[in-house]
Amino acid sequence: MNPNSITTEADRCVKCGLCLPQCPTYKLTQDEGDSPRGRISLIQAVMTDQIPEPHTRFHLDRCLVCRACETACPSGVRYGFLIDAIRQKSRQGLLTGLANAAVASLPYRRITRSLLNIYLKPPLRRILRWLGGKTVRRLDSLLPNAISTERLVSRTTAPDQPRGRVALFTGCVTGLLERQTLAAAIQVLEHCHYEVIIPENQGCCGAIHGHSGNPDKAHKLGDNNLNAFNPLSVEAIITCASGCGAQLQEYGLHGLDLQHPVMDISEFLLKSADIGANVLGKLDKSVLVHTPCTMKNVMKSEHAVAGLLKKIPGLQLEALALTDCCGSAGSYMLTQPVIADQLREPAIEILRAKRPDILVTSNTGCAMHLRAGIVQASLPIEVCHPVELIARQLKIANSP
């Protein structure tokens, strides 16, 4: 990273403070060091050698990279660029380093899914949770009760009267833990007469690496995805996790030329697939819609989920009125567990008061973090991806 580009970007901040009311960590701690303006000042101090970098790490590590501050900034400061760039200067913690290495490779191995399913069986899970330390228990709280080992396959033949062809980005954690979401996306896309291509050589998007100070690895992973997707003849790359979608959409900022538009599955289905309410079965349930920061602040698709789910007859739909990040933020829920849980609490309070049947969210990390909070609060609320609801209602509508 060119130091001049960091300084130039940081110097665009006029210190007006308009971003402060948008910043979840500042609102929580009321500490200027935990605000976007304060963090930019710290970045400037590091770049001009006024403060040694390790002295700033406490506040910089507490940033969620939710980028809510960017939406309020009249100077258009690219805060996301700054925080990723300065983290490159920091030494990675052991947990972050291990998490980075693990997500890039383990989720793509079949053996990982099999071993995880063995772990998830009650006796072993209970024993290891009891024997394991705080970190094991934290990781365990984010896992579902079972994972699908279903193989995700592209159609070998195009559907009758194909409407078009899309590629599906599976993602590392989504492919491992929320495979049913990907299966639902394939089912709905095929129902809408799209041919779905799932390149086997695709890999992790690199977001976790880029946000935790490892841009070289993020770039390498990005390059791998260019090789997997660029040769395809598709109209869009579809993502089911907005954290991955946001990263893929911004590959260009990192010098990676992805040659197809990237769209969130809900937005694609709403805009292109033309699902009519007449093909969806009635669902008499209440649903709260959580909008992940990456969906709102980067992909700018915050209205897509409600627009799509409105097509299900009978659904009582409401937005989860959360002003801030839920605290998941990639590996943040592991590296900053105290703040992550404090930020989740308003969501749990709303859920406790409203008691919906289902909470939908479009990002895998948010689903894991919110689900863990819901389990901890003993609330009988299902957490799923919006496309899973669409797939279920298609099945009901089509059953004899």
State the residues that interact with ligand SF4 by CB under 6 A: 13-19, 22-25, 36-37, 39-40, 63-69, 72-73, 75, 77, 79
Least CB distance to ligand SF4 at residue 265 (A): 25
Q: Are 39 and 33 in contact (CB under 8 A)?
A: yes
Q: How many whole angstroms separate alpha carbon 189 and alpha carbon 364? A: 20
Which contiguous run of DSSP H or E holds residue 256?
none
Least CB distance to ligand SF4 at residue 143 (A): 26
Least CB distance to ligand SF4 at residue 87 (A): 12
Least CB distance to ligand SF4 at residue 68 (A): 4
Q: How many whole angstroms separate alpha carbon 352 and alpha carbon 41? A: 39
Least CB distance to ligand SF4 at residue 329 (A): 8
Contacts of 378 (CB under 8 A, 6+ apart): none
Least CB distance to ligand SF4 at residue 197 (A): 34
Nearest C-alpha neighbor of 288 from the set 366, 341, 342? 366
Which contiguous run of DSSP H or E holds residue 168?
strand 164-169
Least CB distance to ligand SF4 at residue 351 (A): 23
Token reading at 71: 């939406």
CB burial of residue 232 (10 Å; 0-12, 13-18, 19+): middle
Least CB distance to ligand SF4 at residue 65 (A): 5
CB atoms within 10 A of CB 228: 18
Q: Which is nearer to ligand SF4, 77 or 198 (CB)?
A: 77
Q: Which is nearer to ligand SF4, 44 or 181 (CB)?
A: 44
Least CB distance to ligand SF4 at residue 22 (A): 6
Residue owning tokens 């907005």: 242
Q: How many whole angstroms separate alpha carbon 324 and alpha carbon 311? A: 27
Contacts of 130 (CB under 8 A, 6+ apart): none
Q: Which is nearer to ligand SF4, 14 or 146 (CB)?
A: 14
- Dmax (CA) of the chain: 72
Nearest C-alpha neighbor of 398 from the set 390, 284, 265, 385? 390
CB atoms within 10 A of CB 71: 13
Q: Nearest 5°: CA angle at 85, between 80 and 89?
A: 145
Q: Which is nearer to ligand SF4, 36 or 175 (CB)?
A: 36
Q: Which is nearer to ligand SF4, 35 or 170 (CB)?
A: 35
Nearest C-alpha neighbor of 44 from the set 3, 2, 80, 88? 3
Q: Which is nearer to ligand SF4, 23 or 188 (CB)?
A: 23
CB atoms within 10 A of CB 1: 12
- What single DSSP character describes residue 356? -
Q: Which is nearer to ligand SF4, 64 or 166 (CB)?
A: 64
Q: Which is nearer to ligand SF4, 66 or 186 (CB)?
A: 66
Q: What are the C-alpha distances in Å from 114 to residues 9, 138, 143, 150, 227?
A: 46, 21, 14, 11, 28
Least CB distance to ligand SF4 at residue 165 (A): 36
Q: Which is nearer to ligand SF4, 260 or 300 (CB)?
A: 300
CA atoms within 13 A on the CB side of 26: 18
- What single DSSP character describes residue 170? -
Least CB distance to ligand SF4 at residue 170 (A): 27
Q: Which is nearer to ligand SF4, 75 or 227 (CB)?
A: 75
Q: Which is nearer to ligand SF4, 75 or 323 (CB)?
A: 75
